[in-house]
Amino acid sequence: MGADMPRPAPDLDVRDPKESKEPQVEIIPLGGLGEIGLNCMVLSCAGEMIVIDAGLMFPRPDQPGVDLVIPDFSFLKANEDRLRALILTHGHEDHIGALPFLMKELPGLPVYGTALTLALTRDRIREQMAPAPDYREIRPRDKATLGPFELEFIKVSHSILDGVGVAARTPAGTVVHTGDFKMDLSAPEEDRTDLYRFASYGEEGVLALLSDSTNSDMPGHSVSEKEVGRTLSRIFREAPGRIILACFASSLARIREIVKAAVLSERKVVFEGRSMTGNVRLAQDMGYLSIPPGVEIDFHETEDCEDEELVIVATGSQGEPLSALARMAHGEHRRVEVRGGDTIIFSARAIPGNETAISSLVNLFRHQGAKVVDPQAEIIHASGHGHVDELKLMLALTRPHYLIPVHGELRHLHRHREIAEELGMPRGRILLLADGQRVALSRDRSYKMCKAVRTGRRLVEGVRLGSPSDPVLNERRRLSENGVVAVTAALDSRTLEPLSLPKVSIQGVNYTDEDDLTLAAQEAAWDCCARYAKAFAKQDPPIPGTEPEELLRRLKGDVRAVFRQHINRRPVVLAQVMLMDPEAPPLPAEEAGGEG
C-alpha cells in the first residue's frame, strides 16, 4: 500500500455515496497486490463488473495442514447480479487456481480464456467437483462487448503459452491490463507480445495501465527461451551420461526447447510426473507442442538405450516432497536410481520460500555422485516476466495517464513506481493500491479513493474453507513449534484424591533428560490433584463432578509451568481425568481390552 493512501474502512457495496457527474471506472483488486499469487482484479463501470483472473497461493511453512490459499470472494458474491464475466489471462495456478472455488460461489458465470487456458481449468474443476463454467473461448485480437466494457484480448509472451492481456474501453476511458508478460522478440511469431496492439491503444489514449511488476527489481532485459535452448543443447552434447531435468510442467515453451536440444544431441526424451505427462499430452493434442517421431519414449524402452542417449524431464523443480525429482533424490523412485555420471538440471528459478527444499535435493544428488546444474551457474531458465527495460517499453507503448502496478510484493510495486518516475511520469499519476482498496478514475482524468471493499484470504484444507485466524491453525502452529504433552490422572470418584502417580506422555518436545522431566511433570500433576481434592473436601456438602473443568485447567497450567521452568518451552498440554471407584473389582482382561 502506498504510504500516501491509507486503507479506508471495509464495505461490500461497490457504489460510492458521492456519485461523480463524469463517467467513472473503478479498479478494485481482491488479490495480487502485495503478494505473488492470489491474482484477482475487478473493473466496475456503470454498475456492472468484470473480473480478471481468479488465482491462488500455496501455503507458507507457518500454515501446517493447509492445501491452498485463495482470495475471499465475499465481495463478488455480494455483487453477483452485477458480474458480467471472468477473464482468465493465462493458465498458471496463481491466475486460474481459485476458479473451482469461485464457481461454487457463482455457478454459471461466463469464463473467457484462450483454448489452452480453458483446457487447463477443466482438470481443476473436475478435481474440486465444482460446477462447470460457461466457457467462452477467445483468441488474441478477438473482441467482446460486456455491458459498458468493450474488450480486446492482446497476445503476450510469457512462460506459459496462449497468454493474453486485456484492453477494456469504457465510457470513462480505456484500461489496459497487461497480464503476465515479457518482450521475447526471438520467440516464434505466434507467441510474441503484440507490441502493435499495445501501441495502438497508446495512440488512442490509455486512462490506466495495470502492469505486471514481478521483475521490476531485475535490470536490463529478460533472457529469451532461445538462449536457454542454446545452453541446453550444449549441456546435452557434453554430458557423459543421463540428463535428468526438472522444470515447471506448465512451461511448454521450455519443453519445446528441451525437445529441440534432445534432437540435436541425438537423445531420447522421457516425461515423468503426473502434471508433466498430462500437460505434454494436452499440448500435443491441441497442437501447441510437436515432438518428432521416435524422440519421445516410455520408461520401459529406456532399457534399450545407453545413458548418454537419455533425457528424463520431471516435475519437482521447487523441491516438492512428493514430486518425481524428490523421489529420485531420496532413492524412492521405482524406475530411476541416480548414480555417478548423471547430470541434474534445475531449469527453474526458486520461488521464495522453496530455497531450503531445493538445496536439500541438490545435496542429495551430489552425495550420489551426480553433477548438478542450476540457473546461477548456467542460462537454463528464462523468466516469464519482463525486466526493467521491458516495463519501460510497455509504458512507452501505452503512454497511460495513470500507472497501477500489479502482480508483486510491496517492494516490486514501489520499484515499478520508481521506473515510471525515471521516464518522467509524475508520482501523483502512479497509484499504489493494496488488496481491497478501490480507486475511481473519471473521464476528466481525475481520481478518488473510495471506501475499501471486504477482501482477505481463505485457507483450503481438503473440502473445508478456513481463515488465517482460524484457532485450529494457531493450535497446529503451537504443536509444530513446541510439541504436545498428555497428562492422565486417575482420581477417587468420591474424594477426587489421586489414586496413583499421573501418567505423562511427551511428544515433539526437545529435551535432554527424559526421565527427570517426565517425573517432574508427574509430581506437578500429583500435587495439583492433591490440592484440588483438599479444596473439594472442604465443600459443604461435597458435590462430586464427572470431570472437573477447573481441575483440568489447573493441571494444564501446572504441567506447562514445569516445561517453561526446565527448558523454557510452552508445549500444548492435553489433560484427562478418570474418576474411578477404588473398591470396585477390576474388569476381566477381555473387558478391559485384552492383551492386545
Q: How many domains does the chain have?
A: 3
Specify if 173 maps to a domain: yes
Specify if 590 maps to a domain: no
117: helix, strand or coil: helix
- Widest distance between CA atoms in the chain: 95
Q: How far apart, in whole angstroms, are the C-alpha atoms of residue 303 and residue 336?
A: 11
pTM of model > 0.85: no
Asked if 213 and 264 sit in the same domain, the reply is: no
Q: Please state at what angle helix 274-286 crosses helix 115-127, rounded to 10 degrees.
A: 140
List the CATH number of the domain containing 363.
Answer: 3.40.50.10710
Asked if 115 and 41 sit in the same domain, the reply is: yes
Strand 243-246 to 68-71 pairing? unpaired
Asked if 48 and 157 sit in the same domain, the reply is: yes
Q: Establish how many alpha carbons lie within 13 A of residue 228's alpha carbon, considering only the half-sphere containing its beta carbon.
A: 32
Q: What's the grid cell of residue 351? A: 520461488
Specify if 595 maps to a domain: no
What are the counts of helices (DSSP H) followed by strands (DSSP E) for the chain? 15, 25
Provide the residue-wise pLDDT of the chain in tens; the chain has 596 residues.
Answer: 333 333 333 444 444 435 557 899 999 999 999 998 999 999 999 999 999 999 998 876 666 566 788 999 999 999 999 999 999 999 999 999 999 999 999 998 999 999 999 999 998 898 888 999 999 999 999 999 999 999 999 999 999 999 999 999 999 999 999 999 999 998 888 899 999 999 999 999 999 999 999 999 999 999 999 999 999 999 999 999 999 999 999 999 999 999 999 999 999 999 999 999 999 999 999 999 999 999 999 988 988 899 999 999 999 999 988 899 999 999 999 999 999 999 999 999 887 778 888 999 999 999 999 999 988 889 999 999 999 999 999 999 999 999 999 999 999 999 999 999 999 999 999 999 999 999 999 999 999 999 999 898 888 766 556 666 565 656 666 666 678 889 999 988 888 889 889 999 888 887 766 667 888 999 999 999 998 888 887 775 555 544 578 888 899 999 999 988 888 888 889 898 888 887 766 555 444 444 33
List the CATH number of the domain containing 519.
Answer: 3.10.20.580
Q: How far apart, in whole angstroms, are the C-alpha atoms of residue 435 and residue 431?
A: 13
Secondary structure string (H, E, C) spanning 9-59: CCECCCCCCCCCCCCEEEEEEEECECECCCCEEEEEECCEEEEECCCCECC
Tell me which residue range forms the domain holding 476. 471-580
Q: How far apart, in whole angstroms, are the C-alpha atoms of residue 504 and residue 487?
A: 5
Q: What angle do CA 540, 541, 547 make, to 5 degrees?
A: 110
Specify if 106 maps to a domain: yes
